[in-house]
Amino acid sequence: MKYTPILKGKSGEGTALGHLTDRTLGRIFPIIEVPPIPTKFLDKQPGVPEGPSRSLQEHLDTFVRGIAQQVPNGLKFAIDFSKLVSSDRTPDNPVEYVFSEFAALGHSPSLVLRLSEDSRFAPQLLQQSQCSKDFAVVRIGREHCGFPTAIMNQLGPLLQTAGLAFERTGLLFDYGLITRGDLDDIVGESQAIEDEMPLDEFGFSSIAGTSMPSSVTMDMRAYSTDAVPRLEWQAYKRIKTQILGFGDYGVNSPDYFDQDIRLITLGGKARYTTPDSWMIVKGEKLSKNYKQFHRLAGMIRGSASGKGSGYSWGDRCIHACAEKQTGPGNLESWVAFTLNHHLTMVARQLASAA
């Protein structure tokens, strides 16, 4: 059973993947999203959108630098374009451009299709699939997961158009952001999917979701901790599965931050994964006060949930930060530290459950 985390295609995530051990790399198949182009806001009118902050070409080059130049060769992963919305038509075929850039750096990523593939980039995605004749992943949204027969009826025409056989296709049943009230539905629908679909004929199949909200520190005091339960892992442990793998959203929520930074107050924080929850560690108002991360690192290391420096690269960085053997880092580097720890822990949990 594979671990299929859904990750944002940013530099912190690329760094986390680039520092995984070979054993962990062999247990995961990340789905890496091309992020939406950030919004630029008017200089004299905070909060009022002016338009995209960069061109499509610039954005794709940023994505390639953040991921392709950092992940290790040999890692099997897929690229998802569904979050990318742009009217910019350069380059002419963004999908082909990204895949060619990855190939030039020694990578062979798979592509991600949606069950109802009607995105702006659908023609390019289908063309890429037909030309490459490689592995692909079909990402199936929550609205479809309760209807296994309907899924199979839609899969047939989609895979025929894409030139894909079942064995060259992975299935990702994505529930997105979930709450405790969703658990029974997820368990029941997942068991129906396994009973009513020929999952053993596909390359792999996984169920994914997360209970990590967009904001987790709003009601917390400075230098305090809290816990957010990993409901997706709780649901997965209840499923009597023989085939379905597991996926989540790493240490992030499914949403993308796209607000005017001038209108919000950023604070230091970290999300550290434990066997059944995330330990949330809150600092204070950031305002370039990055030294607070030394203290946050010490809070993680000194907690009952903190792992030793030998557990993962991320834990080694947190330990060094707590000892002030390195600089405090920044928000991006802390995504790398905590995500690297998270991927290591969840890959081991899934291997132990197999």
DSSP-derived letter for residue 35 is: P
336 falls within a domain: no
Q: Is the pLDDT of residue 265 over 90?
A: no
pLDDT digits (tens, 9 = 90+) for 15-42: 999 999 999 999 999 999 999 999 999 9
DSSP string spanning 306-330? Answer: PPPTTS-HHHHHHHHHHTTSS----
At 310, list the tokens. Answer: 């030998």
| Overall number of domains in the chain | 1
Q: How confident is the model at residue 132 (pLDDT cuts 50, 70, 90)?
A: confident
109 falls within a domain: yes
pLDDT at 353: 78
286 falls within a domain: no
Q: How confident is the model at residue 1 (pLDDT cuts 50, 70, 90)?
A: low
Residue 265 CB burial class (10 angstroms; 0-12, 13-18, ≥19) = exposed
In sequence order, what are the residues at sequence separation of 6 or more whose Cβ sits closer than 8 angstroms to the Cβ of residue 19? 313, 314, 336, 340
Task: Give dist(CA 40, CA 43) in Å, integer.
Answer: 9
Query: Can you tell me the mean pLDDT for 144-166?
Result: 94
Which of 139-153, 174-188, 256-270 bottoms out in mean pLDDT, i.e. has the lowest?
A: 256-270
Pure H helices in 69-219? 94-104, 122-132, 148-162, 183-196
278 falls within a domain: no
For residue 17, the domain's CATH number is: 3.20.20
pLDDT at 263: 86
pLDDT digits (tens, 9 = 90+) for 277-322: 999 999 998 887 899 999 999 999 999 999 999 999 999 999 999 9
297 falls within a domain: no
pLDDT digits (tens, 9 = 90+) for 315-351: 999 999 999 999 999 999 999 999 999 999 999 999 9
235 falls within a domain: yes
- Containing structural domain, residue 146: 6-217+228-257+342-353
Q: How confident is the model at residue 102 (pLDDT cuts 50, 70, 90)?
A: very high
Q: How many CA atoms lie within 13 A of 164 on its CB side?
A: 31
185 falls within a domain: yes
80 falls within a domain: yes
What whole-number percentage of the chain has pLDDT above 90?
79
